[in-house]
């Protein structure tokens, strides 16, 4: 049993012991609303790239305060990575944003989720549609060899309010393209399959507008030189806010794609990004 090192003053009053504590190894702040961090991985934890787990901290009442977080690192990584919003009055993230290397968080080692390869039928082109921290499961899947074994092309669209909010994803994709370990794991040239399509809605950038609109008016297809989305060739994973997911489901169904699940794979899958 590991001793939990509390992050808050209030929790410091009594030092609790918890069986599911993991140690923070790295924290990166991207904007005043976004940060990512890495923690140790329980030796027994097995998961599929794209799944989520419950993580959190001890609340002031001494009880665990847990939320669902997509694991942003791939299944083969020694550590676990998470990408989080900071909500100043959010019960969890108001505290979680202050974690430092050496602190401990709670991690329940029961991974689940539908943004997994198992929930999709075979296809030729895979689309990842993310808004905000909905990029997290794709940060995992973009480093997963199966993604490139299964598909000829991987299109990642990430919609954020401003340019700074795209940075975690932009940097990650840049790093992936140069990663020698990944090239060894996946095969030389795998990165040529990645088509990155970053979009902002509230700040000037090379591509502006909501992805839903850009799909509807065909801008995305014209920009990428793709004929369109078809159930014969295209598969999609969607992760963002509730409203985004609802609109994207309608868009996907409009292209003739059906929603899949672990028990019933089909052409697209959706999951809500954690926003609190």
Does residue 243 touch ligand A2P according to CB under 6 A? yes
Whose Cβ is closer to ligand A2P: residue 15's or residue 246's? Answer: 246
CA atoms within 13 A on the CB side of 17: 3
Q: What is the DSSP string of 131-196?
A: EGGGGHHHHHHTT-HHHHHH-SEEEEEEEESSGGGGHHHHHHHHHHHH-HHHHHHH-TTGGGGEEE
**CB closer to ligand A2P out of 117 and 158:** 158
Q: Is 161 in the site for ligand A2P (CB under 6 A)?
A: yes
Judged by CB under 6 A, the chain residues 128 through 147 that form the site for ligand A2P are: 131-132
Q: Is 198 in the site for ligand A2P (CB under 6 A)?
A: no
As measured in angstroms, the least distance from the Cβ of 115 to ligand A2P is: 17
Residue with Cβ nearer ligand A2P (25 or 201): 201
Which one among 22, 70, 140, 159 touches ligand A2P, defined by CB under 6 A?
159
- Strand 64-70's sheet: what is its strand order? 64-70, 52-58, 104-112, 21-29, 34-40, 79-85
69, 37 Cβ separation under 8 angstroms = no
Does residue 202 touch ligand A2P according to CB under 6 A?
A: yes
Residue with tokens 């959706």: 270
Minimum distance of ligand A2P from residue 33's CB (angstroms): 8
Which span (52-60, 178-186, 218-226, 239-247) binds ligand A2P, by CB under 6 A?
Answer: 239-247
Least CB distance from residue 58 to ligand A2P, whole Å? 27
Concatenating the DSSP letter of every residue in 197-211 gives EEEESSS--SSBS-H
Is residue 212 a contact point for ligand A2P (CB under 6 A)?
Answer: yes
DSSP 118: G
DSSP state of 274: P
Candidates 196, 214, 212; CA nearest to 155 is 196
> In terms of CB distance, is 107 or 199 closer to ligand A2P?
199
Selected binder of ligand A2P within 135, 190, 244, 274 (CB under 6 A): 244
**Interface segment toward ligand A2P; rule CB under 6 A; list 13-21, 104-112, 171-179, 204-212:** 204-212
Q: Of the ranges 20-28, 62-70, 106-114, 155-163, which one interacts with ligand A2P (CB under 6 A)? A: 155-163
At residue 81, φ and ψ (nearest 5 deg) are -115, 145
CA distance 150 to 129: 18
Name the residue nearer to ligand A2P (CB basis): 152 or 250.
Answer: 250
Determine if 98 is a binding residue for ligand A2P (CB under 6 A): no
Rounded Cα gap, residues 166 and 3, in angstroms? 36
Q: Which is nearer to ligand A2P, 192 or 250 (CB)?
A: 250
| Cα 149 from Cα 144, distance rounded (Å) | 9
Q: Check binding of 274 to ligand A2P (CB under 6 A).
A: no
Q: Which residues bind ligand A2P (CB under 6 A)?
A: 131-132, 159-161, 201-202, 210-212, 241, 243-244, 247
């Amino acid at each position: 049993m590991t001793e939990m090192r509390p992050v808050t003053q209030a929790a410091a009053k009594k030092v609790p012991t918890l069986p599911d504590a993991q140690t923070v190894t790295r924290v990166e702040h991207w904007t005043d609303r976004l940060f990512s961090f890495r923690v140790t991985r329980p030796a027994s934890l097995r998961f599929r790239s794209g799944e989520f787990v419950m993580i959190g901290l001890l609340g002031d009442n001494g009880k665990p305060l847990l939320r669902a977080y997509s694991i942003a690192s791939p299944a083969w990584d020694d550590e676990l990575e998470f990408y989080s919003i900071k909500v100043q009055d959010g019960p969890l993230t108001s505290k979680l944003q202050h974690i430092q290397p050496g602190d401990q968080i709670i991690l329940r080692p029961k991974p689940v989720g539908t943004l997994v390869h198992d929930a999709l039928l075979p296809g030729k082109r895979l689309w990842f549609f993310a808004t905000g921290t909905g990029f997290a499961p794709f940060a995992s899947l973009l480093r997963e060899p199966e993604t490139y074994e299964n598909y000829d092309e991987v299109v990642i669209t990430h919609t954020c309010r401003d340019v700074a909010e795209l940075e975690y994803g932009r940097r990650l994709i840049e790093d992936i393209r140069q990663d020698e370990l990944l090239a060894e794991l996946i095969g030389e040239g795998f990165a040529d399959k990645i088509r990155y399509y970053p979009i902002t809605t509230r700040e000037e950038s090379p591509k502006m507008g909501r992805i839903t609109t850009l799909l509807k008016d065909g801008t995305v297809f014209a920009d990428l030189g793709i004929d369109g989305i078809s159930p014969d060739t295209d598969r999609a994973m969607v992760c963002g806010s509730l409203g985004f997911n609802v609109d994207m489901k309608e868009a996907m169904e409009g292209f003739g794609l059906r929603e899949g699940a672990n028990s019933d794979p089909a052409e697209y899958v959706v999951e809500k990004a954690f926003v609190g």
